[in-house]
Structure 1
Amino acid sequence: MKTWLLIHGAWHGSWCWDQVRLRLEHVGDRVITPTLRGLGERADQMSRTITLQAWVDEVAHLMTSHAMTDTIVVGHSFAGSVVSGLAEAVPERIQRLIYLDAMLLEGGETVFSSIDADIVATRRERSMASSGGLSMPAPEPEGLGIRDPREAEYVKRRLTPHPFSTYESPLALEKPPGDGFPCTYVACTDPAYQPLWGSRERAKAYGWDYREIATGHDLMITDPAGTVDLLVMIAQQD
């Protein structure tokens, strides 16, 4: 039996992993899918005080309280930064790190410092217009690589605004991300999610195990079976 920690990205919640979680549990694995504060069913906890470190701390606490060991930690999109933080916060509880089309930051960087300036400017404008800078409104599902109308409707009903403060708070790392752990980066290619271009190139430069999957950015929605097959294949390396 393997233990999985699946962490969702921006605008999402634990709901996005439902089809992946069920498939992994079907083969007897233990799967934990937390919702980060301020998102999903915890949207009422939205606050300007939420930072990357706050999310790292809360998930580290969850891993400790659930006595998680030999954990395969998987982060999608924005949650790549949380995965990197966990590797330093609770290394004794982790077996492997998997970044699913995810942000790959180094110590002291912010999400905004790692993406194109024009994308940053657009997101600032949208945040100010919608909430006075409190949160980032969710994009249309098509922007996340979701083409199927039924999948798009399912996702659109569930996306929630994302705490804007987490885009500007730095990731605290003393070592390179993933240092000391086997790391895999999975890039979604059909279509590719442009804001993550730099993270993909960084993963290649690190010499990490690098995989591609021919589906959209929200791979757990658009291809849950393929996502599980890939996760299981990666985990079998250990």
Structure 2
Amino acid sequence: MDVVLVPGANHGGWWYQPVVERLEELGHRGIAVTLDGLDPDDPEPARPITLDTHVSELVDLVRGLPEPVVAVGHSYAGSVLSGAADAAPGRFRSLVYVDAFVPEDGDSAWSMTLDWEHQWYVDGSGRTGLFVDPLPFFDERAVPHPVATLLQRSRLTGAWRAVADKHYVVAVSPDWLPQSPFVETAEKLRADPAWTVHDLDVTHNVLASGPDALVGVLQEVLDE
């Protein structure tokens, strides 16, 4: 089974490498995506990069794979997952949102997050006006993130809801909860029978303590 792994803001496919290795040990193929504008070897490209850019990139990828995939999106990448699944729902076997945005039509990362992240978007983009610089505590490999992807509204018809297997992984470490924009999302989805919600005692950087917790959830999804 192909598992497509999409990282959050400022991060590339390298973030998922420990998960890719564990999935391979379990007999699955992990495909860790580095979205346009987030390659450490191609920092701050001049071309415009929007949420639509990233959605199209993921759609093209899954349409080129032989079978419907399990798609995993962390944080910002929840908007990318929803957009791609809306465009090509038949190419997704499962959607796994990892402490991530789950937009409705017209939502943006800006509209779904909290004031402290709004301040980061503003302050972090002041240097270029085009890219949001990583926060100081991010991994040294993190790169500036295209600001338009965080401001553009999702354009969804609702077709993504046809993907029957939908999971939400919420980080519930006390070190993260006071500043999490995702707890409310998780509580809303717990009441929706179309979703399975998984609690992990980790911070938003779910791989900081290794891949095992997330891989455990993915094993459940893959075994269904």
* TM-score of the aligned structures, taking structure 2 as reference length: 0.89
Give the aligned CA root-mean-square deviation in angstroms. Answer: 2.0
170-179 vs 96-105, which moves further: 170-179
| Contact persistence 2:40–2:141 (CA under 8 A) | no
Structure 1 CA distance, aligned partners of 2:140 and 2:119? 26
Distance 1:32 1:214, change over 3 A: same
Residue 90 of structure 2 is aligned to residue 92 of structure 1? yes
Structure 1 CA distance, aligned partners of 2:150 and 2:30? 27
Deviations along 1:189-209, one digit per CA (max 9) or x if unpaired, are 123351323432342343421
Structure 2 CA distance, aligned partners of 1:171 and 1:69? 26
Deviations along 1:83-140, one digit per CA (max 9) or x if unpaired, are 1112122222111100011111111111101122453144213311x22x21111113
| Contact persistence 1:106–1:176 (CA under 8 A) | no
Residue 202 of structure 2 is aligned to residue 215 of structure 1? yes
Q: Which residue in 1 is equivalent to 2:63?
A: 64
Structure 2 CA distance, aligned partners of 1:198 and 1:214? 16
Distance 1:182 1:121, change over 3 A: same
Alpha-carbon deviation of 1:176?
7.0
Q: Which residue in 2 is equivalent to 1:149?
A: none
Unaligned runs of 5+ in 1: 142-154
Structure 1 CA distance, aligned partners of 2:217 and 2:105? 29
Q: Which residue in 1 is equivalent to 2:144?
A: 161
The residue type equivalent to 1:203 in the other structure is L
Structure 2 CA distance, aligned partners of 1:33 and 1:122? 26
| Contact persistence 2:167–2:196 (CA under 8 A) | yes
Distance 1:134 1:90, change over 3 A: same
Alpha-carbon deviation of 1:236?
1.8
Alpha-carbon deviation of 1:173?
0.4
Q: Which residue in 2 is equivalent to 1:203?
A: 189
Distance 1:236 1:180, change over 3 A: same
Alpha-carbon deviation of 1:53?
1.3
| Contact persistence 2:89–2:163 (CA under 8 A) | no
Structure 2 CA distance, aligned partners of 1:170 and 1:205? 25
Deviations along 1:25-47, one digit per CA (max 9) or x if unpaired, are 11221221110001133643535
Residue 216 of structure 2 is aligned to residue 229 of structure 1? yes
| Contact persistence 2:44–2:131 (CA under 8 A) | no
Q: How does 1:74-93 map to 2 (within 5 A)?
A: 74-93=72-91
Deviations along 1:134-186, one digit per CA (max 9) or x if unpaired, are 11111133xxxxxxxxxxxxx62211111111111011101175344211100
Structure 2 CA distance, aligned partners of 1:202 and 1:68? 34
90-99 vs 119-128, which moves further: 119-128
Structure 2 CA distance, aligned partners of 1:57 and 1:228? 27
| Contact persistence 1:39–1:46 (CA under 8 A) | no
Unaligned runs of 5+ in 2: none
Distance 1:127 1:60, change over 3 A: same
| Contact persistence 1:204–1:210 (CA under 8 A) | yes
The residue type equivalent to 2:33 in the other structure is P
The structure with the greater share of residues assigned to helix is 1
Structure 1 CA distance, aligned partners of 2:10 and 2:149? 12
Among 130, 133, 140, the alignment partner of 2:136 is 140
The residue type equivalent to 2:52 in the other structure is Q
| Contact persistence 1:71–1:96 (CA under 8 A) | yes
Structure 2 CA distance, aligned partners of 1:104 and 1:223? 25
